[in-house]
């Protein structure tokens, strides 16, 4: 099986300052559970940044200024898992950081996901999309997806119901199961009626669908040459 590199970031503790948000509980468990499961399957952990060590610049592309350092971090690994608060407005995804380095909010209009090594990104946050219409998906993700294969996130609000979601998904992903189906299976709950979603890119409709349905980590080197099409899958 192909070996992939993994990086995780998570935030539980925010401070009473300009970056203040509500405290979270399970985010380290989700992100590090994912990392541990991947490592248990033979993959390589590269970074694990939590709380104040998780920085907005780790996702910002250098072309967007502001100290963007994504090419050394999120886009320097194949699989990145980010667990935290999220919000989505003005067709821009935002993720919250506890320390302003260099902003309190990361904004998807400063991201170029996949220009280097990043193939798969988990945004274990709320509001990865606001709904499942084409405008909600394409207008937010069509721009930032620049070579990345699949984004895994949630439609609207979700609730961390179990501490094992990250490790469960990591077990499936790391052992070569189809990635989108694994995400939907491991994170959906009938009790909370959340809505996980996987968004795959492709140069053609068939390629995007093929990735959505069948891609595993063995597809690491099958590059997305353009994000002309998106194919998404969600349970609700």
Partner 1 sequence: MSTIPITLKMPELPGSPPPIFTLRTPRVNESALLNLAHTFKLKGREEAGSISRDASTFTYAEGAFDLTFHRASGAFRFKDRNRWQIDHRANVELSDEDAVKLARTYLSRYQLLPEDWKVLRVSRLHVATAGPDRKMQDHRVIDVAVCLQPVVHGLPVDGPGGKVTVYLDHEGRMTCLDHISRRIGPVYRKVTRLHSPEHAVDEARRTWAERGVREVDVREVRLCYFEMGWNDVQRYLQPAYIVFATLVGVDQRIKMGDIYVTHAAVNHAGRIVPLAPTRRVAQKPRRAQGGDDRPTPPNHAG
Site for partner 1 in 1-20 (CB under 8 A): 3-5, 12, 14, 16, 20
Inter-residue contact 129 to 89 (CB < 8 Å) = no
The least distance separating partner 1 from the CB of residue 231, rounded to whole angstroms, comes to 4
Inter-residue contact 139 to 4 (CB < 8 Å) = no
What residues numbered 203-222 form the site for partner 1, per CB under 8 A?
205, 208-209, 212-213, 220-221
Binding of partner 1 at residue 188 (CB under 8 A)?
yes
The least distance separating partner 1 from the CB of residue 216, rounded to whole angstroms, comes to 14
The least distance separating partner 1 from the CB of residue 123, rounded to whole angstroms, comes to 13
The least distance separating partner 1 from the CB of residue 208, rounded to whole angstroms, comes to 6
Helix (H) or strand (E) holding 90: none
Structure tokens at 22: 């509500």
Structure tokens at 8: 């995780």
Interface map 41-70 toward partner 1 (x if CB under 8 A): ---x-xx-xxxxx-x-x---------x-x-
Task: Sort strands 120-124 and 150-154 into parallel, antiparallel or unpaired.
Answer: parallel
What residues numbered 106-135 form the site for partner 1, per CB under 8 A?
116-117, 119, 126-127, 132-135
What is the edge-to-edge ordering of all strands in the sheet holding 196-202?
A: 44-50, 5-10, 79-83, 120-124, 150-154, 196-202
Q: Distance between the two ends of the chain, CA-based, in angstroms?
A: 32
Q: How far is CA 111 from CA 92, 98, 130, 145, in A?
A: 10, 19, 19, 8
What residues numbered 137-166 form the site for partner 1, per CB under 8 A?
137-139, 142, 157-164
The least distance separating partner 1 from the CB of residue 19, rounded to whole angstroms, comes to 9
């Amino acid at each position: 099986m192909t070996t992939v590199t993994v990086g995780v970031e998570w935030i539980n503790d925010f401070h009473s300052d300009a970056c203040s948000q509500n405290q979270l509980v399970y985010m380290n468990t989700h992100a590090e559970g994912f990392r541990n499961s991947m490592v248990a399957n033979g993959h390589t952990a590269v970074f694990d940044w939590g709380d104040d060590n998780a920085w907005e610049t780790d996702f910002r592309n250098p072309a967007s200024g502001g100290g963007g350092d994504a090419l050394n971090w999120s886009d320097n690994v194949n699989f990145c898992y980010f667990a935290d608060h999220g919000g989505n407005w003005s067709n821009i995804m935002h993720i919250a950081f506890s320390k302003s380095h260099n902003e309190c909010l990361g904004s998807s209009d400063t991201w170029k996901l996949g220009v280097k090594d990043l193939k798969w990104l988990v945004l274990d946050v709320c509001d990865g999309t606001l709904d499942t219409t084409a405008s909600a998906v394409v207008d937010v993700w069509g721009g930032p997806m620049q070579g990345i294969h699949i984004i895994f996130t949630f439609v609207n609000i979700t609730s961390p119901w179990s501490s094992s979601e990250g490790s469960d998904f990591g077990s499936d992903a790391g052992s070569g199961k189809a990635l989108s189906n694994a995400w939907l299976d491991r994170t959906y709950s009938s009790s909370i009626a959340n809505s996980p979603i996987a968004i795959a890119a492709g140069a053609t409709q068939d390629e995007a669908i093929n990735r959505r349905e069948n891609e595993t980590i063995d597809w690491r080197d099958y590059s997305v040459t353009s994000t002309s099409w998106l194919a998404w899958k969600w349970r609700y």
